[in-house]
Amino acid sequence: MAGRRRVVELAMTKAEIAQLTGVSHSRTDRASRVERARMLLVYRENPSFFAVAQQLAAHHQTVQRCVERAVAYGPLAALDDRPRPGKEPTITPEAKTWLVSLACDKAKEHGYPHELWTTRLLARHARERGPAAGHKCLANLVQGTVCKILARAETKPHKVRYYLENRDAAFDQKMAEVLCVYHQVEVLKKAAAKSKRRRKPVTVVCCDEKPGIQAIETTAPDLPPEPGIHATFARDHEYKRHGTLSLLAGIDLLTGKVHALVRDRHRSREFIELLKLLDTRYPADTTIKLIVDNHSAHISRETTAWLAAQPAGRFDFTFTPKHGSWLNLIEGFFSKFARSVLRHIRVSSKHELKSRIMAGIADVNRHPVIHTWSYKLAEAA
């Protein structure tokens, strides 16, 4: 006669019970962990392998193995599979290192017309050249394995992430000068809030050009959205180009007002036109501080000669460092203008494009936004 099955005693703390309860109700955890957590909780109430198996629609040996692992390693450790030896890897660590090192080169450096690797091209190259390099295990390498090896090495040779090289030895000094002007703007704003009278009339204007705005005309009318048919505007792929225009603009950091011109080009004479426009918009005793980049039109002989003919102290230029045009607040305005007024714009001529741009500037000036610079501003104080 077979002896009575001995009950396996399973002790659990309150914290373990709470964690097991959380896992048993989880909707995101692995199904195996959820099932084992339920087994342990039910076994705690009714210590019978057969009863638990019947209640959870499992096999009693499965319940027994789960309980025995919980007794041996702890209830929480029993939720996961024990490590298994698995199959010996066929691709050696040396071969993986060689593959990753190869991925760090450009494909064109190895005789291919491609600039960068694709995972398919890299797999083919490894199959053809790997055995000769002493890695016979790569003879049957497939694209999926290449993706896994590169993912573990956190290498993405098929992608490009752009960066901006610092080519100005005096970058920090020039940036500090720009930040000092922005700090002065904050001081002027606070002073204007306290008193309407300013001791020294001064304004700060960020200036730049946005060239290459295309005047594009559709060759067929746009189709408006129709509920239940198509939700968006439909536009024919063909278009007609009428040329490009340049937007020259300056934004007053104290009032948010935008001063702008639209011209065919953006040479020194167009920039001087913008300076003349600013000269007419502010009283003669006001100092106009300009933040500009190092475009040739801003430092040309023609511009320098015109500035020399102006009253002393009328214009005060502060130049952003090379590759530091992002320090100019006007760039943010241009970005917003391109994403709103210029987005998907279609016109029948350059004249219409100019009118639409100036109408957009007028709309901005009806509800001006006073821009504020905050990045590293405390360092300039």
| DSSP character at residue 378 | G
Report the pLDDT value the prediction gives residue 140, as an integer from 0 to 100: 93
Report the pLDDT value the prediction gives residue 230, as an integer from 0 to 100: 87
Report the pLDDT value the prediction gives residue 192, as an integer from 0 to 100: 73
Report the pLDDT value the prediction gives residue 7, as an integer from 0 to 100: 74
Instruction: Determine, yes or no, domain membership for 85.
Output: no
Per-residue pLDDT of the chain (381 residues; tens, 9 = 90+): 444 556 788 889 999 999 999 999 999 999 999 999 999 999 999 999 999 999 999 999 999 999 999 998 999 999 998 877 777 778 999 999 999 999 999 999 999 999 999 999 999 999 999 999 999 999 999 999 999 999 999 999 999 998 888 888 888 899 999 999 998 888 888 877 676 565 568 999 999 999 999 999 999 999 999 998 889 999 999 999 999 999 999 999 999 999 999 999 999 999 999 999 999 999 999 999 999 999 999 999 999 999 999 999 899 999 999 888 889 999 999 999 999 999 999 999 999 999 999 999 999 999 998 888 888 777 765
Query: Do 337 and 220 form a contact (C-beta atoms < 8 A)?
Result: no
> Could you give the CA distance from residue 132 to residue 122 in angstroms, rounded to a whole number?
15
Are 295 and 218 in a shared domain? yes
Instruction: Determine, yes or no, domain membership for 161.
Output: no
Are 243 and 348 in a shared domain? yes
Are 40 and 112 in a shared domain? no
What b/e readout covers 212-249, taking b as 16+ CB neighbours within 10 angstroms? ebebbeeeeeeeeeeeeeeeeeeeeeeeeebeebbbbb
> Could you give the CA distance from residue 167 to residue 149 in angstroms, rounded to a whole number?
36
Nearest one of 179, 204, 186 to 376, comparing CA atoms: 179
Domain carrying residue 108: 93-152
Query: Do 358 and 260 form a contact (C-beta atoms < 8 A)?
Result: yes
Q: With H, G, I as helix, E, B as strand and everything else as coil, classify residue 95.
A: helix
Structure tokens at 167: 């080519």
Report the pLDDT value the prediction gives residue 65, as an integer from 0 to 100: 92
Query: Do 213 and 342 form a contact (C-beta atoms < 8 A)?
Result: yes
DSSP 279-347: HHHS-TT-EEEEEE---HHHHSHHHHHHHHTSPTTSEEEEEPPTT-GGGSTHHHHHHHHHHHTSTT---
Are 134 and 178 in a shared domain? no
Are 70 and 99 in a shared domain? no
The domain total for the chain is: 3
Are 259 and 352 in a shared domain? yes
Are 121 and 189 in a shared domain? no
> Could you give the CA distance from residue 233 to residue 226 in angstroms, rounded to a whole number?
9
Are 194 and 45 in a shared domain? no
